[in-house]
Amino acid sequence: MANSKLTTFLITIFLFCFTVPSTAKSSTLVQEIKQQSPQQDKEPFVGVNIGTDVSNLLSSTDLVSFLQLQKISHIRLYDANPDILKALAKTKIRVIISVPNNQLLAIGSSNTTAASWIGRNVVAYYPETLITDIAVGDEVLTTVPSSAPLLLPAIQSLYSALVSANLHTQIKVSTPHAASIILDTFPPSQAFFNQSLTSVMLPLLQFLSRTGSPLMMNLYPYYVFMENKGVVPLDNSLFKPLTPSKEMVDPNTLLHYTNVLDAMIDAAYVSMKNLNVTDVVVLVTESGWPSKGDSKEPYATIDNADTYNSNLIKHVLDHSGTPLHPEITSSVYIYELFNEDLRSPPVSEANWGLFYSNSTPAYLLHVSGSGTFLANDTTNQTYCIAMDGVDSKTLQAALDWACGPGRANCSEIQPGEDCYQPNNVKNHASYAFDSYYQKEGKVYGSCDFKGVAMITTTDPSHGSCVFPGSKKVSNITRTVVNSTEASGAAERLKFNTFHSSQIGTTIAFCILLFIPFVTTV
């Protein structure tokens, strides 16, 4: 009997010692998700839109890994893609999901359909996947005006379904509008909503006010500039520093506007005030600048896209506010993450992305010192690698030049060295190209090799093979970057670190409990 009691006691100790750490880990994960700091979303942020008119879009898992690597914490989808929502679980990336325009009729005319949509696309994933908002349709009032009467009923039905699921305080419901719903945007003090839309806008704004939801606006200074060339200076559109004489001045308020986006945002606030709504914030759901255009789009250039988006990011993360509301900085979702190469003409339509679909940058943003957003997508950490689709003979010639006359350090791609495998010309050429590029100080033209090389912000290092561009980065930084390369890896790293001290304490306690019994035996 004594031996039986002893056995039972030892089993109890065993279960305590070896199940507590895993239980703690699980419960901590759930608590961390449930206790996501509301303050984080009160701080202005920069997110990205993810369109899917892309010929070779990354898999959902690879997409999420890429978002983590680029330190992108907020995204907007144009649907509620189940694979992406599943891949986002436990990543802390916040996501706006959307109801496509073609689903408005079904949802707006049936509470049951709305409830089913919420169950299928929200309840099934939240809170593991951090859904923050539901965007109902996109520019409905201007692109499909015949659906305008369905818009508010659809929004209200979805909100009611959130109430039933007790998620209405965590997830907001709104709809993105085109800037053209506002007339006379400059000076902002004279702006007002198109009066033909008042019957929809007034009850919509009242709903947004009542539920604490934002007014979603798609705002493009690019189009303002293109439609008003000679009136709106390019520098004002690109956030470039201006002398006081070049600032736009609202004659009614005497407020000075140094950029077009702030004027557009303030025009939205004035338009709402004209309808007696003063407590709804503006969320910019789209803004950006194309990096390539046709002959009729001469201002769609890499330099202008880089300047606009780099300055936009700094403007938001600096908490700059607007002249009318310096206390409120609107968060912005950049349009867009990837170039959508399947888009119809004009050329600019396929060139709004920060990256190509293979995750290489369309151009390099200058965002150093602007927090952690796109921390790896700057001119400070770039690599040179071989392009896809280049024939082996051409690559071999470029490789021979880099390791010969180019005097790149190619010792690491010799047999038996860390970067020899995989033993193919593309891998060896990428290493040699990067060695030459880094040796030359990453100057313009040092990553070309007759058109077979390209610059990337994604670290090409793999396994024990560390590329030359990564050798200049501290070991601490390398660890952080590598920890984000697999979906959820960054979170696992944090959880393992967090629990290591707890586990160590538990093991020490268990050893003390076992010592008397070991001594007795």
Find all residues with CB under 8 Å of 180, minimum gap 6, and list them.
142, 194
Query: Exposure string (b/e) for 47-78, b if CB count within 10 Å is 16 or more?
Result: bbbbbebbeebbebeebbbbbbbbbbbbbbbb
Instruction: Determine phi and psi for 132, rounding to 5 degrees.
Output: -105, -35
Beta strands 176-178 and 215-218: pairing type?
A: parallel
125 and 196 co-located in one domain: yes
Say yes or no: 328 and 434 in one domain.
no
Residue 72: predicted pLDDT: 93
Element housing 286 (H / E): strand 282-287
Are residues 226 and 276 located together in one domain of the fold? yes
User: DSSP assignment of 178-210, as one string?
Assistant: EGGGEE--SSGGG-EE-GGGHHHHHHHHHHHHH
Of how many residues is the chain composed? 521
pLDDT for 242 equals 79
Count CA atoms closer than 13 A to 86's CA, side-chain side. Answer: 7
Q: What pLDDT is recorded for position 499?
A: 39
| Predicted local confidence at residue 373, as pLDDT | 61
From residue 477, give the alpha-carbon distance in Å to each of 384, 439, 493.
Answer: 19, 21, 14
Least Cα distance to 343 among 333, 358, 357, 332 occurs for: 357
Residue 334, number of CB atoms within 10 A of its CB: 27
Number of domains in the chain: 2
Residues 505 and 20: their CA atoms lie apart, in Å, by 11
Q: Are residues 343 and 421 in the same domain?
A: no
pLDDT of residue 245: 79
Write the single-letter amino acid at 371. Answer: G
Q: Which residues pair with 134 in a beta bridge?
A: 97, 173
**Residue 284 belongs to what H/E stretch?**
strand 282-287
Tokens of 382: 């770039």
Residue 272 lies in a domain: yes
Q: What would the two tokens of residue 217 be?
A: 């606006």
Provide the residue type at 467 as one letter.
F
The whole-number pLDDT of residue 6 equals: 44
- Phi, psi dihedrals of residue 260, rounded to the nearest 5°: -70, -35
Catalytic residues: 139, 286
Q: Give dist(CA 216, CA 139) in Å, integer.
A: 10
259 located within any domain: yes
Alpha-carbon span 312 to 324, nearest angstrom: 18
C-alpha span between 223 and 289 (Å, rounded): 9
**33 lies in some domain:** no
The CA-to-CA distance between both ends of the chain, in Å, stands at 17
Burial classification of residue 23, based on how many CB atoms lie within 10 Å of its CB (0-12 exposed, 13-18 middle, 19 or more buried): exposed
Dist CA 186 CA 306 (whole Å) = 26
pLDDT confidence of residue 369: 53
Kindly state whether residue 5 falls inside one of the protein's structural domains: no
- Angle 392-403/425-439 helices, nearest 10 degrees? 40
Same domain for 331 and 405: no
Q: Where among 470, 489, 512 does a domain terminate? A: 470
H/E element, 121 = none
Q: Looking at the domain assignment, is residue 496 inside a domain?
A: no
Instruction: Specify the pLDDT at position 380.
Output: 54
Claim to verify: residue 396 and residue 270 sit in the same structural domain: no
Asked if residue 235 is part of any domain, the answer here is yes
> Looking at residue 505, what is its pLDDT?
41
Residue 511 domain flag: no
Q: Where are the beta strands (DSSP E) in 370-414?
A: 383-386
Q: Which residue range is the domain that position 318 belongs to? A: 46-355
83 vs 102: CA distance, rounded Å? 21
Same-domain pairing of 283 and 338? yes
Token duo for residue 409: 């350090």
Question: 296 with 415, same domain?
Answer: no
Confidence (pTM): 0.69
CATH number for 285 = 3.20.20.80
Half-sphere exposure for 308 (CA within 13 Å, toward CB): 31
What are the per-10-residue average pLDDT scores of the chain (521 residues)?
44 42 38 42 88 91 90 95 96 96 93 96 96 97 94 96 96 97 93 95 97 97 90 90 84 94 97 96 98 93 92 91 95 95 93 89 74 51 84 94 94 94 94 92 81 81 87 38 32 34 43 45 41
Would 479 be classed as within a structural domain?
no
